[in-house]
Amino acid sequence: MNAWLRQHRYALMVTIRRLLKQPFSSLANLLVMALALALPLLGTAILVSVQPVARQVSVTPELTVFMRVDAPASATAEVARRIQSDYAGDIKAVRVVGRDDALADLRANPAWQQALAVLPGNPLPDAVVVTLADGDDLSGRADKLARAWKQWDQVDLVQLDSAWVQRLEAILRFARIGLAFLAAAVAVVVLATVFNTVRMQAMLQREEIAVARLVGATESFVRRPFLYLGGLSGALASLLGIGLAAICLAPLNDALLGLARSYGAEFALHLPSPAILALAVLASAALGALSARWSVTRNTRF
């Protein structure tokens, strides 16, 4: 066990010395990878920050169940009770809007006063306004509920404005897919950068590797420093990318602050949780180590 730890400590120290021996080249490689890694981090920050705010837009996910004009008030109350009891898992709130209350609200609007004054009676029906619970596939659930409720007695029409839900879900889905493609492209950049870095190091250390093999060094001993080089480069680049993303968010939040306050809201972009950032660092390190292993396997066969 002690020998194994000494070998890994030696490999790590060799890797650090090689990085410090060429500071400008090492820093340039790290900056390239860090800039590439900062892009999906910024995209994730925007997606994570916008998604909960998008659910709080002024148009809430509501279905309006319009009763027949001649339906009694008891029928409206029964529909509201049935919705609340049978669909408790799909809804957030249910409220009844009486025809008299709806007419009073319209008359309070100056644009409708003259038009309503010529009507002999109240043409509005009772309505039940149902607010859907948050969740996935809001538009699909809304369509399903609307079709079911239309079949009920005394129900004349179920109105839903699902277009905004479909647009919202399409935008978020597009953002997730775009972010996945961006992450894949960044992974390719990291792989290529680490691969070329390790290849150059292997070429520079060619004589040293040959001598080490002559004195009995194993392939694992020869390749281990290069694996540490790839893993350490990936981890350092991801940490640097997180720092760059955090720096970029500061001016973005300053620009968004005035826009958000003009709408009476508080909104700010923020990085993902520390657990996700730690996972990103580990993934970058693993990706760098895998790329280094691939490169050193191909370029140390001499």
Res 217 pLDDT > 70: no
Same-domain status, 49 and 67:
no
* Residue 58 pLDDT: 43
Tens digits of per-residue pLDDT, 65-74? 888 888 888 8
* Residue 75 or 160, more confident: 75
Whether residue 168 is contained in a domain is answered as no
Same-domain status, 271 and 183:
yes
Whether residue 190 is contained in a domain is answered as yes
Domain containing residue 280? 2-55+173-299
Q: Which of 220, 292, 290 is nearest to 8 (CA)?
A: 220
Confidence category of residue 49, pLDDT binned at 50, 70, 90: confident
Average pLDDT value for residue range 23-31: 79
Phi first, then psi, for residue 130 (nearest 5°) are: -115, 125
Q: Treating both helix axes as pointing N-terminal to C-terminal, what angle do 163-204 and 23-54 enclose, rounded to 10 degrees?
A: 170
Q: Looking at the 3D structure of the chain, how many domains does it have?
A: 2
Cβ neighbours, 10 Å, residue 170:
11
Same-domain status, 178 and 269:
yes
Average pLDDT value for residue range 108-119: 64
Whether residue 166 is contained in a domain is answered as no
CA pair distance 215, 41, nearest whole angstrom = 46
Q: What is the largest CA-CA distance in the chain?
A: 107
Same-domain status, 183 and 291:
yes
Whether residue 165 is contained in a domain is answered as no
Tens digits of per-residue pLDDT, 170-201? 777 777 787 788 778 777 877 787 777 777 77
